[in-house]
Structure 1
Amino acid sequence: MDFPKKVLLIDDDYDEFDILNSALNECCKEVDLIYEKNANSALTRMANDNADTVAEIVFLDWRMPRISGKDVLISIRKLPQYMQIPVVIFTGNLDPAYLNEAKELGATFLMEKPFDLSDLYQKLEYLFSLDWRHIKSPGQRI
């Protein structure tokens, strides 16, 4: 399997960092997980990224305070260095309206936040078994 080297998580809940970090350590030990709790600081970081610092895949919470995941996704897709980077909408609510909107805005994958670590581990294994860098039909539900 081809695992990313750098993963960026944008989520207002620190517990999600712990869970994703644990699952990534289980399946892809060499992954560097970068965590941004605040959407503004995440977008600032991403705007300043260069070829050496850009994340290979972004996990984005759809429901965050102040700046929604929708607005963050719109901003991400305007950044030249992130236009083609896969973005996984990582949310507790996969409402069909959100799914369609996220897909139209350029989300690569849609993943419901699992309730346990083994479920997340399985979803990550599946995600990274795909050609996750070059998805032909965006908005695939994981």
Structure 2
Amino acid sequence: MTGQHTIYLVDDDDDDRFIIREAVEGVLEQVSFSEYSNGIDFLKQLEQPGLDLDSVLILMDINMPRMNGIEVIAALRSLPNCQGLPILVLSTAASPEVIKQAIESGAAQFFIKPSSLADLRILADEIKSYLHHRG
């Protein structure tokens, strides 16, 4: 992997955002995070003109107030400059229906939020691998 990657982390839980950011920064050197506690603020950010989205990855929670992750993904897919943005879903909601909705709405992959340090390391390695395969 060459160059800097930006990860947009959208999750209403401050602790989850902190833990995920720390884990990913532990396995990736050239990464920066932009964090959002809700989907509405995140979508407003993406609507700014001239925003460079070439090296972006989105980590999206599902269960959020005001606008859930499925709604955010659907809204993203309707924005012309966001059609191909890779979205990885991280959620505690792991029912087959939720996973199916996330993938059908445009998520590239679905991960269950880690419940242990070992699971967190696996998730960070998966994100690293995903970024490496994207270039």
TM-score range, shorter chain: 0.7 to 0.9
- Structure-1-length-normalised TM-score: 0.83
- The CA deviation at 1:53 is 5.4
- The residue identity in structure 1 corresponding to 2:50 is N
Q: State the identity %.
A: 25
CA contact (8 A) 2:27 2:128 kept: no
Residue identity matched to 1:58: I
Spell out the pairing of 1:18-97 with structure 2 (5 A cutoff): 18-48=18-48, 50-52=50-52, 56-97=56-97
Counterparts in 2 of 1:63 and 1:121: CA distance versus 1, 3 Å:
same
Large movers: runs of 4+ above 3 Å: 1-4, 130-134
Aligned amino acid, residue 10 of structure 1: V
The separation in 2 between residues aligned to 1:82 and 1:4, in whole angstroms, is 19
Provide closer, same or farther for how the CA distance between residues 49 and 13 of structure 1 changes in structure 2, counting only shifts above 3 A: farther
Q: 1:12 to 1:49 in 2, by over 3 A?
A: farther
Q: Is the 8 A contact 2:86 2:108 kept in 1?
A: yes
CA RMSD across the alignment:
2.3
Distance 1:32 1:69, change over 3 A: same
Structure 1: stretches of 5+ with no match in the other structure: 135-142
Equivalence for 1:116: 116
Q: Which has the higher helix share?
A: 2
Change (3 A) 1:55 1:8: farther
User: Given the two structures, how large is their TM-score scaled by the length of structure 2?
Assistant: 0.86
Structure 2 gap ranges (5+) = none
SS in 2 for 1:88: strand
Indicate conservation of the 8 Å contact 1:3/1:128, yes or no.
Answer: no
How many angstroms does 1:60 deviate by? Answer: 0.7
Deviation readout 1:4-57 (Å, 9 max, x if unpaired): 610001111111111111101110022101100121111000111535356611
* Secondary structure class of the residue paired with 1:85: coil
Alignment size in residue pairs: 134
